[in-house]
Every structure is written in structure tokens, then in C-alpha cells.
Amino acid sequence: MLFNSFAFALFLPAVFILYWFVANRNLQVQNSLLLVASYFFYACWDWRFMFLLMFSTLLDYYTGIKMQEAKTPFLKKWWFLLSVIVNLGFLGIFKYYNFFAESFCELLMALGYNTIDVHTATIANIILPVGISFYTFHGLSYVIDIYKSRISAERNFVDYAVFVSFFPLLVAGPIERATHLLPQIKQKRTFNYENSVNGLRQILWGLFKKIVIADNCAEYANLIFSNPAGYSGSELFLGALFFTFQIYGDFSGYSDIAIGTGRLFGISLLRNFAFPYFARDIAEFWRRWHISLTTWFRDYVYIPLGGSRCGKMRQVGNTFIIFLLSGFWHGANWTFIAWGALHATFFLPLMLSNKNRKNMDIVARGKLLPTISEFGRMGITFVLVVFAWIFFRANTLSEALVYLSGIFSQSFFTVPGIMPVSLFVLITLFMTVEWLGRERQFALESLGADWNRAARWCVYFAFILLIAIFRGQSQEFIYFQF
């Protein structure tokens, strides 16, 4: 069930009405309704994988309690390792088995061994369960926090299951923490009109990002990336630019819809994006892009490895580890690993010069325009991000290199034959609203805040009209594959 589908347009109001007008007198009934709705939402993708979600939830719930009750450190560690190994094992089988099998066979072939039969026999026809990376990381953070004695094990199974499978975040995040979400699930919630209206605004902005920006950019990005040899350098650069806006509109749009939907049910989800394309360096970009994943790796990998409290060489190693893991988390392909390595390379000069925490505040706070220096740094950072996205989008490393070589050719200086003027206008409108709203949680939150109700509603209907007019060919959310 897609957020931008007619089915979800029926599903969400139905759950909302039952939640606030039927189950509102009893917290456990509300949570049970959320759990049933979440499993139904997930089953709409493929009901068979619902049992994998249930197993993962039961495993972490049970091992969490056993860790809490363990009489010795050995038993506590045993239950902890059982949960981690089984969770990562499932993730490895479904997401990474073919990658390692193919890489191993290719290595043998490079060494001169005939592995064609082995290759055919080894590669399995495995379907990746939607959202497995997200709900696995939900469970891992929970058991790690129990093992580190940061939280106590949850005894109410329904409450814990809602934490893992709350439908707005189930298939593409944000990646939640038990310390943040579980207390909200266990606390009685009352309807708040302003919070719900704000949630609807965020949903509207997310739909605009996805349907108008991402889906329309996808048509041109897919066209150009499918045949880079057939386009000039200027057109290839446009293709990379279209994908840059596609992935941001797609993923941050999903996050906006998810967070806005959470608000409708009185639940605050973690912020996942903070206007990353206005970043003035790569370090700031990563503080603003996929925030829930970045902070997850920081708290559960980077800091335990020593973080920035160790020597420079160790810091360099730790930095590469988390960037490579971030790339590998996105997919079982060397292109994602190259993407992570490239960002690590961009990040290192800032870290080695102790400038990685230089830009902590919002750019041009309280001002209409940035300074020339800020504009230049934003431009350089944006271009670096655009070129890194080429590796993320390409099917293979060789395709990415061919794509880059096409950009860095004499044809880069030719006039591109692809000039979708209306799309450029929409992107300009999109980034203008983003810029004006960059000091808020999401761009549309502040637009027209001081206007009268009629003027505000005109703005909302204008965006609804744009969604209806420029509804492109529907594309699945990119991060569903991760």
C-alpha cells in the first residue's frame, strides 16, 4: 500500500476515525488497533513476509526480557548475541546473500577458475522483504540499549510490537529508538487539533515532493541513466541533477508523510531530513540527510569504536567504517560501497582539520539570502553530492565510470536537447519554499503562518492543484528496496 495511492487515502481516515472515536477511551485498545492496522498495512505488500516481521518482533521481545532477568553477565551476553546474530542473519540472507555469492564467483573467475556452473547453482531467487533493514534496526537498537542498561525490557508485547511495526515508519523509516517512541506508545494520548492540522500540512508537502518533484524527475533520470552513451555531457549532468532531486523528493517526501501521519495519532517520530541541500559542507550534509540512520551508526557503531576520542588514524578508520556501512546498508552492490567511500573521502579533510563541526547552525538564520561565501560553499557541497549520487544510481561501477567520463567530455559544453521547462519551474518553486521554510521542521509549516485563514487555504489548494496537474507516472518509493 503506497502512501500516494487511493487505497491509503481510504485506509488512513478509517484508522484515524476508529482510533479517536471508537478506541479513544482505552490506551490498550488504541495500541491494539495500531498493531492490527500496521500488520494489515504490511500484509498489503506481501502477506508471507508478515510472519518474518512477527518472528523478529517476538525474538527481540523475548530476548529483551531474558537479558533483563539474566542472573550472570554471561547469560545476558548470550541472549544479546542470539538476538543480534539471528537478526543480522536474516538481513544477510535476504539482502546480501546474492551479493556475496556473486562476488565470490567473480573472484574465482578472475583467478582463472571456471565457475559458471557454481555461479548458476549459487545465486538464489530471493525476494527482499520490504522494510527489513528498517525494522531490523529498530529491534537491534532496542536489544543493544537493554544490554547496555540504558532501558528496561518492555513487558507489554502489544506496546513493543507497535514500536517495531507502527505503520507510518514500518517500510522506510525513520529508524526509531525505543527510548523515544516506546514512552509515547505507553502514555495516554489525547487529540490535539493544532498538531493534527500540522500533520496534514506535512503530509501535503510530502505528497508534493513525491508526486510532483520526485516522480517527474524520475522520468528523465531513468531515461538518461538507462542509456548514458546516447546523451551529451550536458544531458548526463542534467540526468544526475534530476536524480538528485528525485531521491530527495522521494525519500524526504516519504519521511514527511510518515511523520505527519504519526502526528495524526498523537505520536512524534524522529526527524529524518533538515534541508540537506542547503548544507555548506559534507559534514553538515550528513547531519541533515537521513538523520535517523546517521545517528544510529554514530551511536551504535562510531562511538563504541572510539569515535573522535582516539588518535587521528583511528578516527580515519572509524569514519570509513561508518560511511562504508552506510553505503552497504543501502544495498548489496559495490556502487553503494563506492558511494559511501566517496563521501568518506569528502568528509576526511574536514575531520582532519577539525572543521567538521563548523556549520552547526541553520544557514543564513533570520536572513532572506545567504552571504556570497555561504552560497559558494553550498554550491560546492551540492555539486559533490550530485556526483556521488551517480554511483548510487548506476547499476554497476563500470556504468558509473562511463557516466562520469561522458560528463567530463567536450559535449558537456553543448546545449542539452532535454529541457523540460515546466519541471525546472517546479524545482525552482520547490527549492524556494524549502529555503523560506528552512528554520522549521518542514518547509510548509511556516508558509503563510501570519496570513488569514482564506489566504492559507488558497496556498494549500494551490499545492493540491499542482499535485493533480503534474501527477507523473507513479514510481515506487526508492527506499522500499533498502
Distances in Å between the alpha carbon of 205 and those of 273, 275, 464? 13, 13, 9
Interatomic CA distance for residues 444 and 446, integer angstroms? 6
Considering only CA atoms, which of 49, 18, 47 is closest in space to residue 34? 18
Helix axes 73-91, 132-147, angle to 10 degrees: 170
Q: Name residue, grid cell 538481513.
A: 91
Tell me the residue ranges of DSSP E strands in 92-198. Answer: none
Interatomic CA distance for residues 376 and 390, integer angstroms? 22
Q: How far apart are the first and last CA of the chain?
A: 17
Torsion of CA 4, 136, 96, 75, to 10 degrees: -170
Interatomic CA distance for residues 330 and 419, integer angstroms? 31
The active-site residue, picked from 138, 290, 330, 343, is 330
Specify burial of residue 358 (Cβ count, 10 A radius: 0-12, 13-18, 19+). Answer: middle
Interatomic CA distance for residues 60 and 74, integer angstroms? 18
Whether 169 contacts 262, CB under 8 Å: yes
CB under 8 Å to 113, separation ≥6 — which residues? none
Interatomic CA distance for residues 14 and 267, integer angstroms? 17
Interatomic CA distance for residues 201 and 442, integer angstroms? 9
Q: Name residue, grid cell 541553520.
A: 362
Considering only CA atoms, which of 353, 305, 298 is closest in space to residue 323? 298
Question: Is the CA virtual torsion 306, 308, 310, 315 positive or negative?
Answer: positive
Query: Any catalytic annotation for residue 343?
Result: no
Interatomic CA distance for residues 242 and 43, integer angstroms? 33
| DSSP secondary structure of 363-408 | TTTT-SS--HHHHHHHHHHHHHHHHHHHHHHSSSHHHHHHHHHHHT
Would you name the residues annotated as active-site residues?
330
